[in-house]
A and B are shown apart, each in its own frame.
Chain A
């Protein structure tokens, strides 16, 4: 059974930094692209960032480019999202999600999702 467990969320002041992690199990992690999606309170889904299976290609939404860094450790089956220069509008539940195809690419549907970790940016 695929399991994705996010951690690292919390309350942080504007301008602060955070590292989110996603521990993956139940599938061959190094064969799948992985994605972060966020959801602000009461709002819709927003695609944030993605990384291909070997970590060689990374992608970001314009709203986070230059502030967020996605990475993965295929030896540990973990996905990370480093977030800096946090703003109030970054307040959201952050989900990690697995690509549906074992091609390693990020251009796939997302067939498994974690339960999310809440990031709150407030002074």
Chain B
């Protein structure tokens, strides 16, 4: 089972600032099968990024993903008020279980 470790646990930033989130895997993620999700309080998660760097339908271009192997990142170029949320990475490159990271909370400073 691949273990995903997200850091930092909490990121305190102001609107307009740049956010950089990390997701590290315990072993290489095959074919960069890594996704990022956003979850707001009381809501279901929403797919942001798949294949490590491809934006899902309707996702603004201020969200970008990168990385390969064991190190992946999600960058939000300029935080908008609606971007303050919890972000999860998930790998789907290995046989199930298709594990999630523990999440990074992006909060308003």
Contacts and interface: CB of A to CB of B under 8 A. Distances in A.
Interface of A: 35, 37, 44-47, 50, 59-62, 95, 100, 106-116
Contacts of A46: 100
Contacts of B92: 107-109
A107 B32 CA distance: 12
B96 A45 contact: no
Contacts of A107: 33, 92-96, 98
A82 to B, nearest CB: 18
Contacts of A113: 44-46
Contacts, number: 74
B35 A110 contact: yes
A114 B46 CA distance: 10
Interface in B55-97: 56-57, 88, 90, 92-97
Contact of A114 (B35, B44, B94, B102): B44
A45 B47 contact: no
Given A44-B103, A47-B100, A106-B98, A111 B56 contact: yes
